[in-house]
Amino acid sequence: MDALTGPGLAPLGAPPRLEPDRSAEPGGFLVAADDGTRIHFLDWDASGAPRHGPAAARVLLVPGLASTAWSWAPVARRLRAAARVVAMDLRGHGLSDAPTTGYEPGTLARDALAVAEGAGLLPAEDAGPAGRADVPAPFVVAGIGLGAIVAAWTARALAERCAGLVLVDGGWEDLAAATDATPEDWLAEIGEPPEVLVSMTAWLADRAAFDPPTWDADGERAARAQVVETAAGRVKLAIHPHALAGSVRAMWDHDPRAVLAGVTGRVAALVARDPDGTRLAALAALATERAAAGRSPILAASFPSRGHDLARHEPDAVAAAVLATAARATMPG
């Protein structure tokens, strides 16, 4: 891990070793969003008495494109002793409903808010600033990729009620400018190779090969949740084409400068492999703008040798970032 410093940036620091709770099994629940869409989430406190106190952070984890709540299991197991943890399936993903509409920023943020409210994570609207003695539980939202974008929209909507935002390899870039592509162009390039989809065995082997040392039962469960097996033994992505296309268009609608300027809580960003440095440059530019607006520095770290799925590859660092934003909730936003 490389610590990042500069105008508007502060080093996240080396993460502590957090022992994962291997025995925990989350409970699955559904909550109705504003338009009636049922959104599924995993509550990591549902399997027994929580081991944390009432003042511990409440955390909502939002998965990336075509992923599900199970992709957050390595982080959730590490956070469970110190925080109340819930991970959701975005609409069109996992066990959530997949309507043909609702894949725009406002609706996706409201889905996340419905989960946070339904799971009892949010402080009351009149509770006062996060970190005050009579506000026992700061709320933090974290996301990866598409989930980081949705998390940013959610944090902006909550304003003072959100103590922290953690952007895991996404959420600070203007994707239209960064990729010089349209959503349709990008969709055409992200398809899985046919040989990976020939069987469940091939699919799982491909996912395991991304980083063999971090492949475990949770990784397999997350990988299985991404696909469905056909009668012929092949697999295909579980996400419906209309939900995939709508979600990608939402990513292209994201204006990070406008959104993150409106986030009053602490912000942390973790950057995966970035060979030409353009993603780090985008984060640094945005951090400078936040600093000029009087916002607190973005806590940042980069992982030059790691791929996109930092929740799997670096769960200690991701969990530490969540706890750091909650712990610093009393500092000026």
Tokens 């929209």 correspond to what residue?
Answer: 153
Side chain identity at residue 183, one-letter code = P
| Whether the Cβ atoms of residue 161 and residue 140 lie closer than 8 Å to each other | no
Regarding the domain delimited by 2-187+240-327, which CATH topology (the fold level of the hierarchy) does it fall under?
A: Rossmann fold (3.40.50)
pLDDT score of 332: 40
Q: How far is CA 135 from the centre of its chain?
A: 24
Q: Which of 205, 275, 228 is nearest to 66 (CA)?
A: 228
Alpha carbons 235 and 248: distance in angstroms, whole number: 22
Alpha carbons 215 and 213: distance in angstroms, whole number: 6
pLDDT score of 108: 98
Alpha carbons 111 and 90: distance in angstroms, whole number: 8
Tokens 């946070």 correspond to what residue?
Answer: 116
Please list, residue by residue across 105-123, b when 16 or more beta carbons sit within 10 angstroms of its beta carbon and e when fewer do: bebbbbbbbbbbebbebbb
What is each CA distance from 1 to 271, 296, 314, in whole angstroms?
Answer: 10, 22, 9
Q: Is the dihedral of CA 48, 71, 199, 246 positive or negative?
A: positive
Q: Which of 253, 248, 286 is nearest to 267 (CA)?
A: 286
Residues sharing a CB contact under 8 Å with residue 245, sequence separation 6 or more, in sequence order: 103, 183, 187
Q: Where are the alpha helices (DSSP H) in 32-72?
A: none
Domain residue limits, the chain: 2-187+240-327
| Whether the Cβ atoms of residue 260 and residue 248 lie closer than 8 Å to each other | no
| Coil, helix or strand at residue 313 | helix
pLDDT score of 47: 58
Per-residue pLDDT of the chain (333 residues; tens, 9 = 90+): 787 888 899 999 888 889 999 999 999 999 999 999 999 999 999 755 555 666 789 999 999 999 999 999 999 999 999 999 999 999 999 999 999 999 999 999 999 999 999 999 997 665 544 444 444 589 999 999 999 999 999 999 999 999 999 999 999 999 999 999 999 999 988 889 999 999 999 999 999 999 999 999 999 999 999 999 999 999 999 999 999 999 999 999 999 999 999 999 999 999 999 999 999 999 999 999 999 999 999 999 999 999 999 999 999 999 999 999 998 654 444
What is each CA distance from 78 to 95, 103, 232, 323, in whole angstroms?
Answer: 24, 31, 38, 11
pLDDT score of 16: 87
Read off the DSSP letter of residue 156: H
Please give the model's pTM, rounded to 2 decimal places.
0.94
pLDDT score of 104: 96
